[in-house]
Amino acid sequence: MAEIRTVDLTKTFADGGVTALDALNLTIEDGEFFALLGPSGCGKTTLLRTLAGLETPSSGAVHIGETDVTRTPPGKRGVAMVFQDYALFPHMTVTENIAYPLRVRGVPKARQREAVLAAASELGLTGTETTAGLLDRRPGALSGGQQQRVALARATAAEPSVFLFDEPLSNLDARLRLEARTFLKRLQRELATTTVFVTHDQAEALALADRIAVMQSGRIRQLGTPREVYRRPANTFVASFIGSTPMNLLEGVVRDGRVLVADSEIAMPDGTGERLAERAEVVLGARPEYFRVSADPRDGAFRGTVEVAENLGSSLLLTLDVAGTAVQVVVAEEDEPEPQATVWALPRKDRTLLYADGELVG
C-alpha cells in the first residue's frame, strides 16, 4: 500500500523528438483505484510503463511511498503489472504461472504452494465444478475470463504495494467485460492496494475509478472524480471524450445575457454571466441526456425537426436539425416523437456548460 507521486515527470523519445510525457505532476493516494484515460498516443501507457520502471524518464522523479524509485529497476519497486495480453507463460501451468513472482524471489516451495492456493481462491479459480483441475492446466486451455483471473492472481501473489493494469478489460468480449468490471472493482476494494489502470474506454474509467486523469499529448487535461469529470469537464477535449453519447458542443455568441446558438437563445448557466463579455464567442456544452423535450414551444429551448431516431433500449437518441445544426437529445421510450416532428429541446440550466477558448467558464 503506497502513495504514488510524480514530480515534473518528462519522457521524450530520441527518434523524432516526440514528447510522450510533458512535466507531469501527479499524486495518487494510497489505496486509490486510479484511471489514466485518453485516446491512443496520449502518453497513458508510457506513464504506466514509467511507473513500472520499464521506461526511464528523461527528467523528473517518481516516488512510491517514501522512496524515490526513479532509478530503481523494475523488479525492485514493489509493483506488479498486468499487461493487456496477460502475458501468461504458455509453457507453464496455471500454478507455475501464479507462483512465478515467488519463484523468482526464491521463496520455498511449500510457501509458494500456499500463496498460489490463497491467490487462486481469492480470484475464484478454485472450489467450483468448472474450476476443477484448472490449476494444472496450461493458459492455452483456459477461457478469456479465466486467463484474466490467472493474470490477476499472479499479480496478487506478488504482494505488491501497487498494481498496474494496462487495458485490463479490453481483451474480453462485451458481455464478459461488464461482469469482469464489477469483479475488478470489488477485488480492488477488498485488497485495498493502490491501483493504476490505463484505458481508452471512458465508460470503464467512469465505472471503476475513484479518480481519473484524462490525458492528451503527454499532458493531463483534467484530474478529478468520475462525477466531476462527467458533470464539469474542464475543457472541450474532455467534454467530447467523456460520455457514452457525445456531448453536444455548439458554437455560439453571447447576446443580451443569453447565448445565441443555432438561432436559439439559450439561458446562461449560473456564474458564467459575469465572466463573459457581450459578443464573446463561446462553445455551449449540453449532454443529450440533460434535455427536456416537448412538442410545445419553450422559452430558451432549441427548436428543431427530428431527423434520426436511434433506439438505445429504454431510451431513444434523437438527432434534431436546428437551423442547419445537428443537436442530439435523449428521450425516454414512451416519449417517442413522430419522424420529422417539430420539437423544443430545453437544456437543463444546471447541467449546461460554456467554454471560452476551449476552457470551462465558471
Partner 1 sequence: MKDPTVRAALAKIGRYTFLSVLLGFFALPMLWLASAPFNAHPTLDVSISSFTLHNFSVLLKDPYALPSLWNSLLLAGGTALLTVGFAAAAAYALSRVRVPGRDGILYALLLLSSIVTGTAAMVPLFQLAFKLHLIDSRVGVILVFTGGLIPAAIFILKDFTDNTPKSYEESARVFGASPFQIMRHIVLPMIRPGLATVTVWAVVNVWSSFLIPYILVRNPDKYPASVVLYTFYTEGGQPNLALISAFSLLYSIPVIVLYLFVSHRYGFRFHGGIKR
Partner 2 sequence: MARATSPRVPEDPAGLGRARAAGIAAPALLVVAAFLVFPALWTLYLGTTNYRLTGFAARHPRSVGLQNYTNVIQDPEFHHSLWLTFEYVIVSAVIGQAVLGFTIAWLLRDATGWFKRLIEALVLLAWILPSSVVAFLWVAMLDRDAGTLNALLRTPGTAWAIEHPMAVIIVFNIWRGTAFSMLLYSAALTGVPPSQLATARMFGANSWQQLRDVVFPHIRGHILTNLLLISLWTFNDFTPYQITAGGPNGKSEILPVYIYQTALFDGQMGLGAAISLLMLVINLVVALVYLRLLRERRQERVAA
Positions touching partner 2 (CB under 8 A) are: 13, 18-20, 22, 39-43, 45-46, 49, 54, 73-74, 216-219
Q: Which three cell numbers stand for residue 260?
A: 445565441
Supply the minimum distance, in Å, between the C-beta of residue 295 and partner 2: 45
Which residue number, 13 or 89, has a Cβ lying nearer to partner 1?
89
Minimum CB distance to partner 2, residue 55 (Å): 8
Consecutive H or E run containing 346: strand 342-347
Nearer to partner 2, 47 or 320 (CB): 47
| Residue 245 binding result from partner 1, partner 2, none, given CB thresholds of 5 to 8 Å by partner type | none
CB-based contact 294:232 (threshold 8 Å): no
**Least distance in Å: CB of 104 to partner 2?**
13
Closest contact distance (angstroms) between CB of 144 and partner 1 is 12
Amino acid at 96: E
Of 92 and 330, CB closest to partner 2 = 92
Give the three-state DSSP class for 219: strand
Q: At what angle do helices 174-191 and 144-157 cross, to 10 degrees?
A: 20
Closer residue to partner 2 (CB): 84 or 342: 84
Q: How far apart are the first and last CA of the chain?
A: 37
107: left (phi over 0), alpha (psi -120 to 50) or beta: beta
Q: Angle 289-234-271 (CA atoms, 0-180°, nearest 5)?
A: 80
C-alpha cell of 233? Answer: 469537464
Helix locations, 158-308, DSSP H:
174-191, 202-208, 226-231, 236-241
Phi-psi region of 340 (alpha: psi -120 to 50; beta: other; left: phi over 0): left
Please name the helix (run of DSSP H) or strand (run of DSSP E) that holds residue 165, with its range, or none.
strand 162-166
Interface residues with partner 1 (CB under 8 A) are 52-54, 74-76, 79-81, 83-85, 87, 89-91, 100-101, 104-105, 140, 154, 158, 164
Q: Which is nearer to partner 2, 46 or 95 (CB)?
A: 46
Tell me if residue 103 falls in helix, strand or coil: helix
| Partner in contact with 43, chosen from partner 2, partner 1, none, beta carbon below 5 to 8 Å by kind | partner 2
Reported in sequence order, the residue ranges of 256-314 that DSSP labels E, i.e. its strands, are 258-261, 264-267, 281-286, 291-294, 302-311
Closest CB to partner 2 among 39 and 271? 39
Of 65 and 74, nearer to partner 2 (C-beta) is 74
Q: Which does 127 bind (CB under 5 to 8 A by kind): partner 2, partner 1, none?
A: none
